[in-house]
């Protein structure tokens, strides 16, 4: 997975008070964003703003008149462990749906704190703009294509590498996706295409490997795949109740390794009796708390890591494989 550099790449020009604020997504991920505006130590937060790769959205109607501007961005669960940094400079309150919170430093019922990053927008002829950016430094057009590539890969189509550049593999993967779903050739240029891709990534139908959570609990899953002769484990992927997630599986692996555990609203393991509610097998592989990618599974505990019993699943020759989590 591409590692995102600082949450926002911001130039340091001054922001005119008469202009509106726009947020541009130059990453390969669909994001849900919120902003915070501070004046005289009081912070107002607003959200959510759905911004697709390569898209800019106005996030403030009227003049930008704030001493400090903050931004928080998150991604849908289909991408697995959130690729956006979770560090920042302020913990501010957000709502679950569209919201405006006038005093966002203290959360009330139905609100929760999340980490925001302080930004300084750059002045342009269209007004102040803040850019969500990746290490790859995409243009708007490249970000859109990279976003399509990424969701095709999540849905089981080989559009690698995810680089924002058109090529034979990307064109073949896109053509296969459109053909499988009986979509017209121009569907990829339509305004709703990312909704189509997200729906496909959340569905167990079609090609690729999927987890489906058939419990009433949140499930956190990890995946192992053989790369360059070693098993690489990645996690955690958050799977909400009643939802499916297709993790990023590249190439045509013959075997995958999967482990998952149920967690409560505070992130603690759910137990049934004395045992954690988990789904795995008998292959011990390393994991850790928080986002991880590990390729050495010897003596996990001595290196400050945890281990979990992964299940080995043969997927060679299968167009589709779905692992379903159910309560005993």
- State pLDDT tens for residues 158-214: 788 899 999 999 999 999 889 888 999 999 999 999 999 998 887 766 667 889 899
Is the distance from CB of 4 to CB of 162 less than 8 angstroms? no
Phi-psi region of 135 (alpha: psi -120 to 50; beta: other; left: phi over 0): alpha
The residues, any chain, with a CB within 8 Å of residue 301's CB and separated by 6 or more, are: 307
pLDDT one digit per residue (tens) for the chain, 328 residues: 334 444 444 333 334 444 689 999 999 999 999 999 999 889 999 999 999 999 999 998 888 888 899 999 999 888 876 666 666 788 999 999 999 999 999 999 889 999 999 888 888 888 889 888 888 889 999 999 999 999 998 887 878 889 999 999 999 999 988 988 899 999 999 999 999 999 888 776 666 788 989 999 999 999 999 998 999 999 999 888 888 887 877 778 899 999 999 999 888 999 998 899 999 999 999 999 988 999 999 999 999 999 999 999 999 888 788 999 999 8
Q: DSSP letters along 258-318, please?
A: EEEEEE-TTSPBPEETTEE-EE--SEEEEE-SSSEEE---SSTGGGT-EEEEEEEEE-TT-
CB 221 within 8 A of CB 245: yes
Backbone angles phi, psi at 154, to 5 degrees: -60, -35
Residue 293 tokens read as 């990618």
Backbone angles phi, psi at 148, to 5 degrees: -65, -45
Give pTM, 2 decimals. 0.67
Q: Which fold has domain 8-138?
A: Immunoglobulin-like (2.60.40)
pLDDT of residue 15: 42
How remote is the C-alpha of 327 from its chain's centroid? 26
Within 13 A of 99's CA, how many CA atoms are on the CB side?
A: 24
Between helices 193-202 and 140-154, what is the axis angle to 10°? 30
Q: Locate tokens 């947020």: which residue?
A: 23
d(CA 300, CA 66): 48
Residue 242: which of 202, 282, 278 has the closest Cα?
202
**Which pLDDT score, from 0 to 100, does residue 140 have?**
93
d(CA 27, CA 164): 10
Contact present, 56 and 69 (Cβ < 8 Å):
no
pLDDT in tens, 196-205: 999 888 776 6
Under 8 Å between Cβ of 76 and 52: no
Q: What is the pLDDT of residue 206?
A: 61
Q: Where in the chain is the domain with CATH 2.60.40?
A: 8-138
> CB under 8 Å to 235, separation ≥6 — which residues?
80, 81, 220, 221, 222, 223, 287, 291, 292
**Residues across the chain:** 328
Nearest to 19 by CA among 52, 60, 54: 60
């Amino acid at each position: 997975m591409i590692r995102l550099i600082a949450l926002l790449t911001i130039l340091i020009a001054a922001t005119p008070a008469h202009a509106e604020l726009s947020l541009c997504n130059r990453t390969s991920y669909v994001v849900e964003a919120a902003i915070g505006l501070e004046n005289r130590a009081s912070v107002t937060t607003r959200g959510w703003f759905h911004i697709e790769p390569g898209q800019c959205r106005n996030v403030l109607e009227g003049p930008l008149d704030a001493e400090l501007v903050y931004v928080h961005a998150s991604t849908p669960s289909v991408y697995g462990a959130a690729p956006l940094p979770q560090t920042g400079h302020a913990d501010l309150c957000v709502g679950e749906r569209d919201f405006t919170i006038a005093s966002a430093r203290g959360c009330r019922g139905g609100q929760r704190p999340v980490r925001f990053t302080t930004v300084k927008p750059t002045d342009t002829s269209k007004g102040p703009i803040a850019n969500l950016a990746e290490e790859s430094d995409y243009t708007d057009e490249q970000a859109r294509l990279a976003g399509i590539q990424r969701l095709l890969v999540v849905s089981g189509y080989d559009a690698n590498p995810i680089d924002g550049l058109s090529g034979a593999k990307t064109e073949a993967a896109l053509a296969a996706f459109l053909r499988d779903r009986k979509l017209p050739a121009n569907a990829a240029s339509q305004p709703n295409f990312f909704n189509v891709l997200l729906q496909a990534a959340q569905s167990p139908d079609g090609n690729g490997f999927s987890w489906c959570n058939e419990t009433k609990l949140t499930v956190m899953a990890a995946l192992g795949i053989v790369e360059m002769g070693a098993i690489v484990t990645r996690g955690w992927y958050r799977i909400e109740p009643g939802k499916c997630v297709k993790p990023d599986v590249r190439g045509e692996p013959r075997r995958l390794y999967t482990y998952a555990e149920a967690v409560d609203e505070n992130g603690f393991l759910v137990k049934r009796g004395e045992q954690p509610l988990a789904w795995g097998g008998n292959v011990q592989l390393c994991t850790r708390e928080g986002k991880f990618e590990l390729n050495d599974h010897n003596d996990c505990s001595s290196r400050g890591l945890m281990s979990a019993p992964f299940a080995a699943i043969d997927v060679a020759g299968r167009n589709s494989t779905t692992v379903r989590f159910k309560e005993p």
